[in-house]
Structure formats: structure tokens, C-alpha cells
Amino acid sequence: MFDAVPAGGDAYVLKYILHNWDDDHCVTLLTKCREAMNPGGRILVADAVVPPAEKPDWGKLLDIQMMVVVPGKERTKAEFAALFKRAGFRLTRIIPTRCPLSVVEGVAASA
């Protein structure tokens, strides 16, 4: 996945993938998705989005686990936006779900 992803998709869904990796690896993977997708395609990332408030949150507990077990972490909206920008995407919206995950949506920055 760091070398290539299947070409020609209208949407690329990454569920519990980016949180396993550091920022540089995430940018590489997101860039490969952007290069492979059809014009007008979208990236959909299903991960926890850590809220900025100083309150308990499941994503914050998972963040600690990710930092201990793998080189990844959970991210805030701003951190996702920064990753997307580095990979040539623009964060369009974050869609909450009934579970602790949200869907972070992005489109190619030129779109």
C-alpha cells in the first residue's frame, strides 16, 4: 500500500489504517490513493477523531494504545486536515457515526 493501490476508484476507504502509522507514512499512503483515484474521487477515512476539549473520550484512550503498540496515533480534525493537505487533498467534512469512529472525507485539492 505504500508503493501503489488499485487504480480507478471513485472512493478509497481506509478504516483503522491511518491510526497505525506516523504522519509521513500516512502522507505516502494518502498520496498513492490520490494518484490512483478517478477525477472527482474521494478519500474516506474511518478513524476516531479526537476532540479538542479537555474531556474524557474513547479516542484519547486509543491514542495511548497506538503510541505504545505501533508508531501511530489518533488525530484531531486539524491533524487530519494537515495530513490531507500534505497529500494533496482538502478535508471536506467529518461525518460522526453511532460508534466511536467518524468518517473523515477529502477530495483532491484541485477539485
Across 9-48, b (16+ Cβ under 10 Å) vs e yields eeebebeebbbebebebbbbbbebbbeebeeebbbebbbb
| pLDDT attached to residue 66 | 67
- For 100, what's the count of Cα atoms within 13 Å in the CB-facing half-sphere? 13
Domain extents for the chain? 11-108
Strand order in the sheet with 89-96: 11-15, 42-47, 102-108, 89-96
Reported as a single tens digit per residue, the pLDDT across 56-103 is 666 666 666 667 676 778 799 999 999 999 999 999 999 999 988 999
Q: What is the pTM of this model?
A: 0.86
Catalytic residue among 19, 32, 34, 75: 19
Q: Is 25 designated active site?
A: no
What CATH code would you report for 11-108?
A: 3.40.50.150
